[in-house]
Amino acid sequence: METELIAILGLQWGDEGKGKVINALKNEYEIGVRFQGGANAGHTVYKGEDKIILHQIPSAILCTEKEALITCGCVLDLEALINEIEELKKRNINPEGRLFIDERTPLVFDFHKEEDVLENEKKGKIGTTGKGIGPAYRDLIDRKQIKIGEFKNKDFAYRKFKNLWNWASEVIGSRFGRPVKPLDEVFEKHFSLFEKIKDFLTDGIIFLKEKEKQGKRILFEGAQGALLDILLGTYPYVTSSHTITGGILLSTGVPPWRIRRIIGVMKCYTTRVGEGPFPTEEKSEIGEILREKGQEFGATTGRPRRCGWLDLPLLKYAIRITGTTELVITKLDVLSGFKKVKVCTEYELEGRKIEFPPALSDELYRVKPVYKEFEGFEPDEKDKNLRKFLDFIEKETGTKITYISASKGEEIKKVS
Ligand code: IMO
Ligand code: MG
């Protein structure tokens, strides 16, 4: 019998609590896979009192009997990776023999981060995490990137790197009037970083094929969220990777029909870091309360997150583009204490009512949310008002809620 392959994806603009859900379902898989993004992600997991934030390594690494794979849909920051490995070792978690990196994975170099940060200071910025994600993916699409496995041949890697470095120094020089660090210095730095992690390299496509054959259960761990997808998100206020189920197929070679369980993680309200349209954003005291109660400050950059009510048009869209088969709703305790809780059920755009978001960000900026009010509730499944709130979401989205997360300190609970 074929094992079940599971995907856990964010349905909003990231920070939905994916890390917690992945950790809670630890009995349901043996191998965790990151298929997109890079050090822009911040997955917070609590092990008792200890708070661990993973950026590039799949959360599966925290369970010592599991294996973790970073695929070529990611862009890998070697310096950050080594720091992450050190952090794990400090906690007696040893990734050796359990962490694998697809040789095809492109890299993030210092000049990618430099360009990202400088670009962000310009007008019309996206508000990125400054981790070099956009420039690294651009160079991949532009066919200039270096695949990590290419470092195995130092001379070959140097020739390719020189080409990329020349390009980067032209871009940063002409656009920002700055020099980049000398070619040989940057190359040698990254080469010695590579030497430290080269034992983790593998062919990710064959690795997964073999594991599937052995009947291992695999979990694909999404980073960011559906609305940050490069193609179907709120462009240009998005990240540069494919955050949806399609992104798994692109970088793993796993056949589409093998992934039948797609768990969409959502908060019971909405947050966003960085720029871009956010119809239900509350700039008032309500937003402030959500931010404080929910501790909505970025795990990667520490920036305060923008906060607002749950947005059903965007949620329905995210469920559609991810193929979500079940929902997990997190942070219910953050809404307790509100007398009334609001949910946006549709938008008004130029006098028309619409229940799906418009295709373009420019239009999404102009929609007016129409709200339905719910009685306040406690984060307890037996609370009748909470049940009404959850039933409404299930009915509107046509998708079952399988787990809820009531508070930070507690495990997620199965919904009966
Ligand atoms: P996790 O995995 C929330 C946002 C940035 C910015 C946009 C582009 O923790 O949910 P980038 O650096 O990717 O080029 O920035 O995407 N962003 C995230 N927001 N959670 C994340 O990851 C994010 N990763 C990127 O704030 O608006
Ligand atoms: Mg995060």
Residue 343, token pair as written in the block: 């949910």
Give the residue-averaged pLDDT of 140-163.
98
- CA of 41 relative to ligand 1 center, distance in Å: 6
Q: How far is CA 126 from the centre of its chain?
A: 16
How far apart CA 47 and CA 384 sit, in angstroms, is: 32
pTM of this prediction exceeds 0.85:
yes
How far apart CA 67 and CA 75 sit, in angstroms, is: 20
Give the residue-averaged pLDDT of 195-224.
97
pLDDT attached to residue 300 = 82
Going by C-beta distance under 8 Å and a sequence separation of 6 or more, which residues neighbour residue 134? 116, 119, 126, 128, 239, 240
- CA of 40 relative to ligand 2 center, distance in Å: 8
Sort 235 into a burial class: Cβ within 10 Å, 0-12 / 13-18 / 19+: middle
Which one, of 259, 393, 396, 260, lies nearest residue 404 by Cα?
Answer: 393
Q: Which amino acid residue places its CA nearest to atom 15 of ligand 1?
A: 128
User: Residue 305 corresponds to which amino acid?
Assistant: R
Residue 344, token pair as written in the block: 């946006």
Instruction: Phi first, then psi: give them for residue 317, nearest 5 degrees.
Output: -65, -45
Q: Which fold has domain 265-414?
A: Adenylosuccinate Synthetase; Chain A, domain 3 (3.90.170)
- CA of 13 relative to ligand 2 center, distance in Å: 9
How far apart CA 152 and CA 65 sit, in angstroms, is: 29
Domain with CATH 1.10.300.10 in the chain: 110-197
pLDDT attached to residue 301 = 85
Domain with CATH 3.90.170.10 in the chain: 265-414
- CA of 239 relative to ligand 1 center, distance in Å: 6
The vertex-66 CA angle with 217 and 330, nearest 5°, equals 75
Give the residue-averaged pLDDT of 208-237.
97
Catalytic residue numbers? 15, 43
| Digit-coded pLDDT (tens) for 340-384 | 999 999 999 999 999 999 999 999 999 999 999 999 999 998 999
Please answer whether residues 316 and 356 qualify as being in contact, where contact means their C-beta atoms are separated by less than 8 angstroms: yes
Q: Which of 139, 224, 331 has most ligand 1 atoms within 8 Å of CB, for mutation?
A: 224
End-to-end CA distance of the chain: 28
pLDDT attached to residue 30 = 97
Q: Which amino acid residue places its CA nearest to atom 11 of ligand 1?
A: 128
Residue 84 in contact with ligand 1 by CB distance below 6 A: no
Give the residue-averaged pLDDT of 7-30.
95
- CA of 23 relative to ligand 2 center, distance in Å: 15
Please answer whether residues 319 and 264 qualify as being in contact, where contact means their C-beta atoms are separated by less than 8 angstroms: yes
Sort 336 into a burial class: Cβ within 10 Å, 0-12 / 13-18 / 19+: middle
| Digit-coded pLDDT (tens) for 311-323 | 999 999 999 999 9
Going by C-beta distance under 8 Å and a sequence separation of 6 or more, which residues neighbour residue 188? none
| Digit-coded pLDDT (tens) for 380-400 | 989 999 999 999 999 999 999
Q: Which of 128, 140, 303, 305 has most ligand 1 atoms within 8 Å of CB, for mutation?
A: 128
Residue 14 in contact with ligand 1 by CB distance below 6 A: yes
Ligand 1 atom at minimal distance to the Cα of residue 299: 9
Strands (E), 268-356: 269-272, 306-311, 326-330, 340-349, 352-354
198 has a pLDDT exceeding 70: yes
pLDDT attached to residue 44 = 83
Going by C-beta distance under 8 Å and a sequence separation of 6 or more, which residues neighbour residue 406? 332, 333, 379, 380, 413
pLDDT attached to residue 218 = 98
Element (H, E) at 202: strand 201-202
124 has a pLDDT exceeding 90: no
Using DSSP, state whether 159 is helix, strand or coil. helix
- CA of 185 relative to ligand 2 center, distance in Å: 32
Residue tagged 């059920």 (tokens): 345
289 has a pLDDT exceeding 70: yes
258 has a pLDDT exceeding 80: yes
CATH no. for 110-197: 1.10.300.10
Q: What is the number of alpha carbons within 13 Å of residue 241 lying toward its C-beta?
A: 31
Please answer whether residues 414 and 403 qualify as being in contact, where contact means their C-beta atoms are separated by less than 8 angstroms: yes
- Answer CATH for 5-103+200-258 from 3.40.50.1370, 3.40.440.10, 3.20.20.70, 3.40.50.11740: 3.40.440.10
Q: Which amino acid residue places its CA nearest to atom 13 of ligand 1?
A: 239
Domain with CATH 3.40.440.10 in the chain: 5-103+200-258
Q: Which amino acid residue places its CA nearest to atom 16 of ligand 1?
A: 239
Residue 273 in contact with ligand 1 by CB distance below 6 A: yes
Residue 41 in contact with ligand 1 by CB distance below 6 A: yes
Give the residue-averaged pLDDT of 277-299.
96
CA distances from 344 to 356, 357, 367, 369, 413 (A): 11, 12, 11, 6, 25
Residue 330 in contact with ligand 1 by CB distance below 6 A: no
Residue 22 in contact with ligand 1 by CB distance below 6 A: no
Residue 127 in contact with ligand 1 by CB distance below 6 A: yes
Please answer whether residues 99 and 61 qualify as being in contact, where contact means their C-beta atoms are separated by less than 8 angstroms: yes
- CA of 26 relative to ligand 2 center, distance in Å: 20
Could you say which ligand is closest to the alpha carbon of residue 305?
A: 1
Residue tagged 């102009």 (tokens): 366
1 has a pLDDT exceeding 70: no
b or e along 373-388 (b: 16 or more beta carbons within 10 Å of the residue's beta carbon)? ebebbebeeebeebee
Give the residue-averaged pLDDT of 200-221.
97
Angle between helices 183-197 and 78-90 (to 10 degrees): 40
Residue 52 in contact with ligand 1 by CB distance below 6 A: no
Going by C-beta distance under 8 Å and a sequence separation of 6 or more, which residues neighbour residue 224? 10, 13, 14, 36, 37, 40, 41, 239, 241, 243
| Digit-coded pLDDT (tens) for 47-104 | 778 888 899 999 999 999 999 999 999 999 999 999 999 999 999 999 999 999 999 9
Residue 129 in contact with ligand 1 by CB distance below 6 A: yes
